[in-house]
Structure 1
């Protein structure tokens, strides 16, 4: 018996060493993180210890093995002067890099990413979330590219004058414009191809998706979305979209939000909110920005049950792999832009658990390297001028 127990211990130790070693050697690229907006809103800084406050900070990204991080530049459609706001957020990222030049660098191109990896620095990339931030001006698109923007999401939840969003297409609220890309929208997609800026189709409506796929000459990016057939919400991709993306040579980066992974999430979440409505209203009246953090502490057990099971993230991944192959899926966490990630994936330090589960599901080292970052880097390289 002692001999068997010893063998079991050695096996478990070797297994732990194996997944950690694979994780360390792979390039981990996360294509969507909203820590910039969170830090501006709450007065935090990425290079300080934000444990217990956010999903991310510089030190914890290193712990989690993040090599390439695309930082989201975001504002909603009501923000005055969204182009100026985008530049303010980009300035924030540049300031973080300037203070921490030994551990991170701005990566504008595939070549910059390779340089950062060689120097063991975090490759800090820029992704603009929402075409409204260029204010219908292609010169502003050019300006954002010069500052380092590697992708732009054609819409956020709000449509803009040249592209319609998934949220608004499904509600049939677009009485002011036809669905899809206008001629100017198609011109913007072509210009993005010329600039070496990836066309990101997360958040866009189905017609906008179809139009963009037909216009682009480069592989597209889905920076943070999941599978509609497993969780039918407007932000997820239907089978025909996944197949079209694979034909285009693009990549789908999976979002960690429980509401995009678990079809039962919204029902469970609504029940929780209804149960604690009076308390939530009371907190909002005093400090609306603290609602989530207070509830997380008071009702940790209840909230944990609301979150999507850890396994569901991999069900979405498996679905895409079975439908179109291993080359078209990756990770776009949406950390610090979402309230409830899946169970176990509480923050950026938990990324190694993904590698561990991929091994358990039978994925090879080669496949795991593609999922963790290789597929995204292929699309980034293919978009280079």
Structure 2
């Protein structure tokens, strides 16, 4: 097939897919600060023109707050973010609408608009109260990521479980009660960021398939945010879905070393030794950032591995755009999703496989949680 025809073919295939991105942090990055998403922004990864260009049909908007900053007022902060999202949607009725169910998603996508879904990232925002969980569900939240990077009174986080052997692990009895209430509400339990013991405790309690919205394979990149093989096998038995994360550090074990090396060479005598990996990356000029970014092949390798471990019916997309500073080369923002379709097709995935990975698997697990 001539190159031009092949290029047109993948674009046509992508346009015919229902593309679901299961995790994006643009609320905290751009919407809450008051940026106009109706215009193409020069900052961040996400706006409506780029979502349209990327063929994104369903975007999950993460509601997030830093546990340390919001030891008090996290529930109010969650509601403030949903208010901001609703205000943005009200200004862009012709292009996007809030979906509260898979039936809503079908209708919105059929009308040519982008379906907006709310996901709450961090159980700190319910402040341990079932009533707050119910309020956020009633406002449209359709999954709760149980933890972020800190332990809660009722659930432990991967970041803490992996670094502090003396910290409490798993779900408390109240945590189990919260999981049961999520099941009866029809709210997905999201186990990205959750500690390993919390992961297994949830699977022992939940009567519904679970979501791991934005994580990868630990066997390829041994980071606490990724899932080990035993967890992946348990996920498959549960009927759940894992959404692959685009963050270079979760995709490529060589990322941190490249950033350190490039920063040291670039900064020279002015290098600040105490800077973390994120700060060093952001200090680099764009051309060096691109050299540090994970190759696109690393993302394909994680998808391959996850498909091998859990099957093509259990793998989805959870980019983490606007929550990450580095994404794979060629996937710089939400407008680039067709490049992923092109790469997967070139790698041997069928159109039927792509339909599942790029959207239908997420929609399936969402529907199976609905009541």
Q: TM-score range by the shorter chain?
A: over 0.9
- The answer to whether structure 1 residue 266 and structure 2 residue 252 are counterparts is no
Give the C-alpha shift of residue 115 in structure 1.
Answer: 1.1
Q: How do residues 1-385 of structure 1 correspond to structure 2 at under 5 angstroms?
A: 11-39=2-30, 42-50=33-41, 52-78=42-68, 79=70, 80-172=72-164, 174-175=166-167, 178-275=168-265, 276=267, 295=283, 299-385=285-371
CA distance in 2, matches of 1:53, 1:277: 28
1:55-113 per-residue CA deviation (whole Å, 9 max, x = no partner) reads 11011100100000000000111213000000011011100110111111000111111
CA distance in 2, matches of 1:295, 1:43: 25
CA distance in 1, matches of 2:112, 2:283: 38
Is the contact between residue 31 and residue 88 of structure 2 (CA under 8 Å) also seen in structure 1?
Answer: no
Q: Displaced runs of 4+ in structure 1, greater than 4 A?
A: 40-43, 277-281, 291-294
Q: Structure 1 residues 121, 300: CA separation in 2 closer, same or farther (over 3 Å shift)?
A: same
1:279-331 per-residue CA deviation (whole Å, 9 max, x = no partner) reads 576xx9xxxxxx789745xx222211111011110100000111221101011
CA distance in 1, matches of 2:154, 2:269: 42
Q: Structure 1 residues 293, 87: CA separation in 2 closer, same or farther (over 3 Å shift)?
A: farther
Is the contact between residue 168 and residue 174 of structure 1 (CA under 8 Å) also seen in structure 2?
Answer: no
Give the C-alpha shift of residue 270 in structure 1.
Answer: 2.5
CA distance in 1, matches of 2:258, 2:92: 42
Q: TM-score, normalised by structure 2?
A: 0.94
Give the C-alpha shift of residue 274 in structure 1.
Answer: 4.0
Give the C-alpha shift of residue 13 in structure 1.
Answer: 2.3
Is the contact between residue 147 and residue 193 of structure 2 (CA under 8 Å) also seen in structure 1?
Answer: yes
Give unmatched runs, 5+ long, in structure 2.
Answer: none
RMSD, matched Cα: 1.9
Q: Structure 1 residues 90, 280: CA separation in 2 closer, same or farther (over 3 Å shift)?
A: farther
Q: Structure 1 residues 210, 278: CA separation in 2 closer, same or farther (over 3 Å shift)?
A: farther
SS class of match (1:237): coil
Q: Structure 1 residues 161, 109: CA separation in 2 closer, same or farther (over 3 Å shift)?
A: same
CA distance in 1, matches of 2:120, 2:213: 11
Give unmatched runs, 5+ long, in structure 1.
Answer: 1-9, 285-290
Give the C-alpha shift of residue 206 in structure 1.
Answer: 0.4
1:214-264 per-residue CA deviation (whole Å, 9 max, x = no partner) reads 111111001100000100001000001111101111111000000000011
Give the C-alpha shift of residue 39 in structure 1.
Answer: 1.4
Larger radius of gyration: 1
CA distance in 1, matches of 2:208, 2:286: 45
Q: Structure 1 residues 102, 41: CA separation in 2 closer, same or farther (over 3 Å shift)?
A: closer
Question: How many residues are matched?
Answer: 364
Is the contact between residue 76 and residue 158 of structure 1 (CA under 8 Å) also seen in structure 2?
Answer: no
